Structure 1
């Protein structure tokens, strides 16, 4: 065999070997890239699904808390204030004081994203409920302030009457004390009428009646909505 033939065989062998290694390397790279791509896609899809699941659970739990917040606040209001308010004769001022905290609805105030996720009709009912409840709170706070003014006027008038009795040498006995208490209540009621508290009481009555029906509907709608299939919970 000539030297040139031997050289050609060596070159062909080297070329074949090189081509095989390159092919293997390219194949391995392709398989690796494809596997990486599948893994990335799978991880991305898992992340999306988990995010949606977490959002659904957050929305569901927030709606449950909103229902608890509304119903609990209403039960306290109605048992301690609202039921007596509705029994008040027409034209009479409400002289009961009902203290309310500065932030009575922390769940609702921190849940705007939740309301954006759900059915617009339900979110509209929830928002309306809270707006009407907050309107009622404003009326109660106004009535509380007017009560303080009326009571203060009653105390001052009663004190003047008591001082006059003492100056006249009258004994502050049980009978006189009872009369002074009655005078205080009478004077406070008259002062309340001057402050138009009877109109405030009437407005609070109307709003209480409206909220009784509205909150009952909202509570049922929330129960119905959170019991739907998870994939239907998020509207966007």
Structure 2
């Protein structure tokens, strides 16, 4: 039924009891109510669409930040530690210290809602990367602590040897200093064997190799998602 038909029906029904002024006022109120309803619906729909757009933009920007966080951390790790780690001969311990901050992944730790908005397979890979990276961080911290232990043991043993040389009246010249340095390194590596640090190094190697592949996949996925996400 069209609006004019509705108005004619109302007019015939109430023409005997209502004045023309009252009838016009009712018609005006009816038209005003319909206009308000349409405006409210339009505003509501606009709000929904804007929310979707904002959510997509937030997801897109967060994914970009995740990529920056991962690639930056990986570049530093690989250039300063990982590359040398992979070149270690089998069975040899890594006796280098690699300092890591208390909160190395602030973007990921606050991005859980973003990951819920993307393909589950892609988000699962990103989550796996961070789980493996955090496992690697734990191993590095463990290895760092063991390095401190063996360095301290080497230092004490070298000091005892130096004291012995002094007691024997030997002059601490450049040649003797070199021998003491070699003894320190040898003693530290022997202590590393006692602590089975080679096992930790082997586990870190495996994680490093796995992460290389996972990161390549994640970077390609993020590039594709951020390139196709619309405003």
With the length of structure 2 as denominator, give the TM-score of the two structures: 0.91
Gaps of 5+ in 1: 1-14, 232-236
Match of 1:39 in 2: 39
Cα deviation digits, residues 98-147 of structure 1 (max 9, x gap): 00000000000000100111110000000000001111111100000000
Cα deviation digits, residues 136-173 of structure 1 (max 9, x gap): 11110000000000000000000000111111111111
Match of 1:221 in 2: 221
* Equivalent residues in 2 for 1:25-174, closer than 5 Å: 25-174=25-174
3-state SS of 1:37 partner: helix
Match of 1:195 in 2: 195
Cα deviation digits, residues 154-196 of structure 1 (max 9, x gap): 0000000011111111111111100000000000000011110
Cα deviation digits, residues 73-111 of structure 1 (max 9, x gap): 001100000000011111110000000000000000000
Q: CA deviation at 1:229?
A: 4.7
Match of 1:212 in 2: 212
How many Å separate the matches in 2 of 1:221 and 1:187? 48
Runs of 4+ in 1 over 4 A off after TM superposition: 15-18
Aligned residues: 217
Q: CA deviation at 1:18?
A: 4.9
Contact 2:60 2:229 (8 Å CA) reproduced: no
1:176 aligns with 2:176: yes
How many Å separate the matches in 2 of 1:40 and 1:17? 34
How many Å separate the matches in 2 of 1:183 and 1:135? 34
Q: CA deviation at 1:28?
A: 0.7
Q: Report the aligned-residue RMSD.
A: 1.4
How many Å separate the matches in 1 of 2:129 and 2:19? 76
How many Å separate the matches in 2 of 1:52 and 1:216? 29
3-state SS of 2:103 partner: coil
